[in-house]
Amino acid sequence: MNPEFKRNLWLEISPARLALMPGVLTLIALLAVAMSEHNPRDNLFIACTVLFTGLTVGWGSLLVMSSINNEVTERTWDQQRLSALTPWQMAWGKLFGSTAYAWYGALLCAVVAVLAASALPGFWSRCVWMLAGAIGAVALHAWLMASRLHTLDLRTEKSSSTAGRLFGLFMALQTLPMVFMVLRSPTDEVLASGGWWSLGLPLPVQSLVLAALMLALGLLALWRSMGKQLMVRSTPWAWALGVLALGWMLAGFMPEDARDANLMVPLAGVALLATYAALFTESNNRLVWQAVLFHHAHSPRRRMLQALPLWPVSWAMAALFVLLYGVLGINPDQHLASQFPAASSVMWLALLHCLRDCGIYHFFALRNTTRKPAGMTLLTLFVLGVVLPGLVAGSAPELATWFEPLFGLQQLVKGGASLGLAPWLAMAVQLAVVAALVAWRWAAGAKPAQAS
């Protein structure tokens, strides 16, 4: 048996707890049946489903996060890193071991819910929803643990509060399918079908497939994050595959007549979001980039890729998708090209805007200080994107574009066919200024080392 899984079982499971869980759940189930006047089976099914969701999504998520936080708080995480377990063994041992007690109660609720639904309409639909909910809950746990490990600094054993908020928002969105599963009546969806990639799958089956895909991506993310913590080097192929898979999943919800070249739009959008996520959740200081430059000059290409931060990978993927959209989307009969002819220009502007933001972040990240660069970066972006354009918008609206090039989109809102020249000139000037500032910061930080 996996030693990490066995250790977590020893911590979570005891004879008293094994007897306590079914006793409490039985009392709640009896209360639900007693409160029902007309259909006790339906009430029992709803109660067990709600308990299943609470135990997995609620309590299980807390246990998953606590499995890492407790190791850090009790200062035993370094011992975990020195163990002989592989990243995958450590990952699944913690994932399933830390939540074993919550899943014990959840599986009891699932069995009672299935028995209660056996005499209700839409039995198979309810069962598929329960299965999708279980897989979705495991996916949520995997994403939660992966995000905590990803934002855990190897040196300080602390995570960024900004990163925590970003991943917290993403994880909150992960719970929506579970809530939908509880509130939706299975009898309303017998003939309903989903539109994902026009497969025409029944809605419960489509949800099951999407939950399985999210689980696969969550396990991949967990494996990579655990490997990073255990000092197991790997190239960023897992990150690139995850970005590509998420974009492909979102593209499946596009109308059938809006695909072809337009498939690149959600792929590029996900890649840009992944660029910002990696930028604000990873360390991008001077030591990181010195390691990249050293391995680029003296090591094989694979070692350089292992040391490379993730945001350049995401940004390069976004650039590739935008380029492919320009190559494949030149047909005016395309759905998006006919309704939004300036789409290619907007995508290029967004790509350059992201590159500018990455430069601003690195201007602060390359300082010889332990302060986090995220706060100053966000403040700078707020001043450039909101405060300064707002000050000049009333008296000289055309100047707002020079502070925030995306204000050039107002030309399209007014009915124009293109962005005009001002946004591109403003973006070129800002990129040149940011590049000069980053180069100056890098040279200023290298001077003491050269003097010594």
What is the amino acid identity at position 375?
A: G
- Predicted confidence at residue 390, as pLDDT, reads 87
- Predicted confidence at residue 112, as pLDDT, reads 93
324 vs 184, more confident: 324
- Predicted confidence at residue 341, as pLDDT, reads 63
Q: How many CA atoms lie within 13 A of 230 on its CB side?
A: 19
- Predicted confidence at residue 327, as pLDDT, reads 80
- Predicted confidence at residue 257, as pLDDT, reads 66
In angstroms, how far is CA 403 from the centroid of its own chain? 30
At 47-79, the pLDDT tens digits run 999 999 999 988 998 899 888 888 877 777 777
Segment 412-431 shows an average pLDDT of 84
Q: Which residues contact residue 315 at a Cβ distance below 8 angstroms, ignoring those fewer than 6 apart?
A: 271, 272, 275, 351, 354, 355, 358
Cα separation values, 77 from 13, 80, 97, 369, Å: 22, 5, 16, 26
39 vs 293, more confident: 293
CA distance 431 to 147: 31
Give the range among 157-161, 191-195, 375-379 with minimum mean pLDDT. Answer: 157-161
Q: Which residues contact residue 149 at a Cβ distance below 8 angstroms, ignoring those fewer than 6 apart?
A: 68, 222, 225, 226, 228, 229
| Spatial contact of 274 and 243, defined as CB atoms under 8 Å apart | yes
At 257-307, the pLDDT tens digits run 666 657 888 999 999 999 999 999 888 999 999 999 999 999 999 999 999
- Predicted confidence at residue 153, as pLDDT, reads 67
pLDDT confidence band for 183 (50 / 70 / 90): very low
Segment 178-206 shows an average pLDDT of 65
| Spatial contact of 163 and 281, defined as CB atoms under 8 Å apart | yes
Helix axes 161-174, 176-183, angle to 10 degrees: 30
| Spatial contact of 263 and 335, defined as CB atoms under 8 Å apart | no
Listed by start position, the domains of the chain span: 1-232
User: Percentage helix, strand, coil, to 5, in the chain?
Assistant: 80, 0, 20
Q: Is the pLDDT score of 404 beyond 60?
A: yes
Conformation bin of residue 434: beta by default, left when phi > 0, alpha when psi is -120 to 50: alpha
| pTM metric for this prediction | 0.85
pLDDT confidence band for 173 (50 / 70 / 90): low
- Predicted confidence at residue 338, as pLDDT, reads 54
CA distance 82 to 85: 9
- Predicted confidence at residue 231, as pLDDT, reads 85
| Spatial contact of 296 and 375, defined as CB atoms under 8 Å apart | no
* 94 phi and psi angles, rounded to 5 deg: -75, -40
CA distance 10 to 93: 12
- Residue 48: count other Cβ atoms within 10 Å of its Cβ: 26
At 92-138, the pLDDT tens digits run 999 999 999 999 999 999 999 999 998 888 888 889 989 999 999 99
Structure tokens at 9: 């079982």
148 vs 359, more confident: 359
166 vs 235, more confident: 235
- Predicted confidence at residue 107, as pLDDT, reads 95
Pinpoint the alpha helices (H) of 75-202: 77-81, 87-97, 100-117, 123-150, 161-174, 176-183
Residue 68: strand, helix, or coil: helix
- Predicted confidence at residue 75, as pLDDT, reads 77
CA distance 16 to 19: 5
Helix axes 40-53, 15-34, angle to 10 degrees: 140
Calculate ∠ Cα 180-184-190, nearest 5°: 125
* 202 phi and psi angles, rounded to 5 deg: -55, 145
Give the range among 43-47, 101-105, 152-156, 232-236 with minimum mean pLDDT. Answer: 152-156
DSSP designation for 452:
-
Percent of the chain at pLDDT > 90 equals 49
pLDDT confidence band for 410 (50 / 70 / 90): confident
Which residue reads 């190559």 in tokens? 327
pLDDT confidence band for 332 (50 / 70 / 90): very low
193 vs 409, more confident: 409
- Give burial (CB, 10 Å; 0-12/13-18/19+) of 181: buried
What is the amino acid identity at position 122?
A: G
CA distance 436 to 264: 32
Structure tokens at 376: 């100053």
Mean pLDDT of the chain: 84
368 vs 61, more confident: 61
- Predicted confidence at residue 263, as pLDDT, reads 82
327 vs 171, more confident: 327
What is the amino acid identity at position 204?
A: P
Partner residues linked to 17 by β-bridges: none
- Residue 293: count other Cβ atoms within 10 Å of its Cβ: 12
Percent of the chain at pLDDT > 70 equals 84
Q: Which residues contact residue 133 at a Cβ distance below 8 angstroms, ignoring those fewer than 6 apart?
A: 49, 52, 53, 56, 177, 178, 181, 211
* 193 phi and psi angles, rounded to 5 deg: -135, 150
CA distance 107 to 113: 10
